[in-house]
Copies of this chain bind each other. A is one copy, B any other.
Amino acid sequence: MSIAVVGGTGDEGFGLALRLARAGEHVVIGSRIDERGRAAAEKARGILGGGAGARVDGASNAEATAAGDVVLVTVPFAAQADIYRSIRDAVRRDAVVCDCTSPLATAVGGRAWQVLRPWNGSAAEEAKALLPPHARVVSGFQAVSGEALQELERPVEGDVLLCGADAEAKAAVGALVEKIPDLRWVDAGALTMARVIEPLTAILVSVNRRYGIRTAGIGVTGRDGWGRPPAKEA
């Protein structure tokens, strides 16, 4: 199995690539320019101690996507539509695509604690609209700090809220979440829930700003463990 990280040269994508490669996964870091993808992969291998261990390759976003059983898309909202158009023909028929975009107002010169309302309701629904119908779209990771992901010696606090129509696709992304120490995943329902989950990023930016920190995260309380919900999905 291979995991593509589209936009994998950014903080969030690079952090996810590091964590998943460290957990033994084969990761392909994609970038708009394939050389940058390859350079990021080399950097990742260096951080992870290269040698026999880390399996990280670099490529263009489309090449990475073509290799991915799971495709994590970690791009700024301003670039989201263009990048999805550039990968849509490369998405494998059985691939799970996890959109990690937050529609922050920075995309149009606004503040990172403000959000835009995408035409389809959420960035994840934009992704769905831009991809071929066979793509199994999941939304997640918006509230996990890219910086925290890159601090490999520390576990990552917080829960990843995943939503989407396909329970197996959510569980596949959830299995990757569980490979990152201390992170848990919570099934938050249908893809439309991304409309209320994506803006969590803005809350965390606002909280970080108030308290002068950089690592605020979201946890879900009320159950000892999360992960795959009990059978009988609604």
Q: Give the interface residue-count category, chain A.
A: 35 or more
Shortest beta-carbon distance, A142 to chain B, in Å? 12
With A218-B220, A219-B219 already in contact, the answer to whether A230 and B211 are too (CB < 8 A) is yes
A195: chain B residues within 8 A (beta carbon): 115, 199
Contacts of A114 in B (CB 8 A): 192
- 19 A-B pairs within 8 Å (CB atoms) are namely A115-B195, A158-B221, A161-B207, A187-B211, A188-B203, A188-B207, A188-B210, A189-B206, A189-B209, A193-B206, A196-B202, A209-B234, A210-B229, A211-B229, A211-B230, A213-B223, A215-B221, A217-B222, A218-B220
A9 CB to nearest chain B CB (Å): 25
Nearest Cβ in chain B — how far from A41, in angstroms?
A: 29
Copy total for this chain:
2
Q: Is the interface of A mostly helix, strand, loop or mixed?
A: mixed
Known contacts A213-B223, A218-B219, A220-B219; is A186 also within 8 Å of B158 by CB? no
A200 at the interface (CB under 8 A from B): yes
- In the bound complex, do residue B222 and residue A220 qualify as a contact, i.e. CB atoms below 8 Å apart? no
| Contact B221–A216 (Cβ < 8 Å) | yes
A114 and B122 alpha carbons, distance in the complex (Å): 13
Cα of A186 to Cα of B157 in the assembled complex, Å: 17
Quick one: which of B190, B199, B202, B216 contacts A220, CB cutoff 8 A? Answer: B216
Interface centre among A163, A200, A208, A233 (most CB of B within 10 A): A200
Contact A218 B221 (CB under 8 A): yes
Choose among B188, B207, B213, B219 the residue that contacts A189 (Cβ–Cβ < 8 A): B207
- Residues A202 and B211 in contact, CB atoms below 8 Å apart: no
Q: Which residues of B contact A145 (CB under 8 A)?
A: 222
> Which residues of B have CB within 8 Å of A216?
220-223
Flag if B217 contacts A230 (CB, 8 Å). Answer: no
Q: Which of A163, A206, A217, A234 has the most CB of B within 10 A?
A: A206
Name the contact of A193 in the complex, choosing from B203, B208, B230 (C-beta under 8 A). B203
Q: Is the CB of A193 within 8 A of B197?
A: no
Whole-angstrom distance from the CB of A101 to the nearest CB of chain B? Answer: 15
Q: Which residues of B contact A190 (CB under 8 A)?
A: 206
